[in-house]
């Protein structure tokens, strides 16, 4: 997407999507009139195995939602997921797809080839979530091609996804409970959320709630409820719905449950399962997996069971492919490329400690934490800081807008 100022000579921005497995080209609608594009080209590419880049098993997300909609035990859910994985493997074989190449190193090399093809000497990286890991891989493998990097919702190679997954979820959830307790109106409407949460999950463990979701039968059981709650914690806007969601479970308010459930589960259709499984099997299983996940679950007693899908995620990956990374894919990236590292304190999957850890090995980095934001950092303050950094990456950006304390708009 060419800069609107055709005379601008500023280096372009390449957007690195999260996931792994998220499509990218639909972000053209977001960047079309974004301030970034006033004087910088914006480069978007569907990563290998996603979107328009030879995506396979594209119906996997819908199939997974159909599994979640049933009232299944974690073991029953796992067995059905294995059937879907087996079907996807058949498609891989039929189409002769080399899923060993679905990894961050090859993904980064694709972007380097793209940079050369487009004729850019250097560009600025802009990557969040898995896109931050991809960005760090680019910084490691092709440092000469990068002018600066903006990494947010940081998921670096040295962090083991499954080792603290449940603990990170609990920390974000309980931070939300505390925020509600410290808000006069929220606390009055939803007192003692921690107790209400425990009661709601126990209630669902005894009997799921049946209702229609998008016109289809849906049985909301305990692990489904935790999955939706995990997704709600991704942004400040949806965090505002957590108290009303817990209350709706306790009171069996199906209208509220329908309203909250639909957008919360929509993201599953946006992630390509083959790419997701390939990257995580290659880059996570050599260093952590199902055992680490279960140990984390057992020590996090406030969360009685794992969210649906994630309860068997690492175990499912073991059946996907046999390819495993060597130690470089679990090592911190050391770089002096100017880098803005940002995270939100409510983040349930890439906590602020990730960003702080990454900043230690990036000698020319600026670390900023948004106290009232989560995994999805796209706010006016965030983009204001990013714009300042992009213009002068060798100088400390002005972080003054972060000090404002916008309240969560509780539902």
Distances (CA, A) of 327 to 106, 134, 277, 287, 338: 16, 16, 19, 8, 25
Distance of CA 169 to the CA centre of its chain: 13
Joined tokens for residue 175: 């931070």
Q: Which residue has the tokens 């230690």?
A: 360
- pLDDT at position 273: 95
Q: What's the mean pLDDT when you consider all of the chain?
A: 96
pTM above 0.85, yes or no: yes
- pLDDT at position 269: 76
Q: What percent of the chain has pLDDT over 90?
A: 94
Q: Please, what is the angle between helix 193-206 and helix 222-232, to 10°?
A: 140
pLDDT in tens, 275-309: 999 999 999 999 999 999 999 999 999 999 999 99
- pLDDT at position 328: 97
Span 329-354, mean pLDDT?
98
Span 327-356, mean pLDDT?
98
- pLDDT at position 264: 84
- pLDDT at position 266: 79
- pLDDT surpassing 80 at residue 405: no
Distance of CA 47 to the CA centre of its chain: 16
């Amino acid at each position: 997407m060419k800069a609107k100022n055709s005379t601008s000579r500023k280096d372009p921005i390449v957007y690195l999507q999260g996931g792994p497995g998220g499509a990218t080209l639909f972000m053209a609608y977001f960047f079309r009139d974004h301030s970034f594009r006033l004087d910088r080209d914006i480069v978007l590419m569907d990563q290998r195995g996603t979107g328009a880049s030879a995506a396979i098993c594209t119906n996997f997300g819908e199939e997974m939602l159909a599994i979640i909609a049933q009232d299944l035990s974690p073991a029953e859910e796992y067995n059905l997921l294995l059937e879907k994985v087996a079907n996807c493997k058949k498609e891989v074989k039929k189409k002769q797809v080399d899923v060993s190449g679905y990894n961050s190193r090859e993904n980064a090399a694709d972007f380097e080839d793209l940079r050369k093809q487009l004729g850019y000497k250097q560009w600025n990286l802009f990557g969040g979530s898995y896109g931050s890991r991809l960005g760090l891989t680019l910084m490691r493998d092709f440092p000469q091609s990068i002018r600066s990097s903006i990494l947010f919702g940081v998921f670096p190679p040295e962090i083991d996804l499954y080792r603290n997954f449940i603990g990170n979820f609990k920390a974000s959830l309980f931070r939300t409970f505390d925020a509600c307790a410290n808000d006069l109106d929220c606390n009055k409407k939803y007192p003692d959320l921690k107790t209400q949460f425990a009661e709601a999950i126990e209630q669902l463990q005894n009997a799921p709630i049946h209702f229609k979701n998008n016109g289809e039968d849906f049985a909301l059981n305990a692990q489904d409820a935790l999955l939706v709650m995990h997704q709600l914690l991704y942004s400040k806007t949806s965090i505002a719905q957590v108290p009303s969601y817990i209350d709706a479970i306790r009171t069996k308010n199906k209208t509220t449950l329908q309203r909250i459930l639909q957008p919360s589960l929509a993201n599953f259709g946006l992630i390509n399962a083959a790419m997701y499984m390939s990257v995580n099997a290659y880059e996570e299983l050599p260093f952590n997996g199902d055992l680490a996940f279960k140990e984390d679950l057992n020590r996090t007693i406030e969360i009685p069971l794992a969210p649906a899908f994630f309860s068997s995620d690492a175990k499912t990956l073991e059946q996907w492919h046999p390819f495993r990374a060597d130690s470089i894919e679990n090592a911190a990236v050391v770089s002096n490329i100017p880098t803005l590292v940002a995270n939100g304190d409510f983040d349930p999957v890439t906590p602020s400690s990730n960003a702080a850890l990454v900043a230690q090995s990036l000698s020319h980095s600026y670390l900023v934490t948004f106290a009232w934001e989560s995994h999805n950092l796209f706010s006016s303050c965030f983009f204001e800081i990013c714009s300042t950094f992009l213009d002068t990456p060798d100088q400390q950006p002005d972080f003054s807008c972060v000090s404002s304390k916008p309240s969560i708009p509780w539902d």
